[in-house]
Amino acid sequence: MSIKNPTKQTKKESKKTTKTEQILKILNNMSVKDAKETLERLLEDLDKFSLVVIP
């Protein structure tokens, strides 16, 4: 009988981390103004998406 490591990430969690790291890497390479505009657009898109998902 083996005991699972509770700190070990699942594949889904590690993919999320990777995507987050990719987004941060892209934002770090942008100017502050461009990064701010990009984040604002992403937040607007998230708001639209959540309105569709939650009636």
Please, are residues 38 and 30 in contact by the beta-carbon 8 Å criterion? yes
Q: In the prediction, which pLDDT does 7 show? A: 62
User: Does the pLDDT of residue 1 top 60, yes or no?
Assistant: no
Q: Which helix (H) or strand (E) holds 40?
A: helix 32-53
Q: Which amino acid is at 27?
A: L
How confident is the model at residue 5, as a pLDDT?
59
C-alpha distances (whole Å) from 16 to each of 9, 46, 54, 55 are: 10, 16, 22, 26
| pLDDT of amino acid 26 | 84
pLDDT at 28: 86
2-53 pLDDT tens trace: 566 556 666 666 666 788 788 888 888 888 899 889 889 988 888 877 666 5
Looking up tokens 């505009």 gives 37
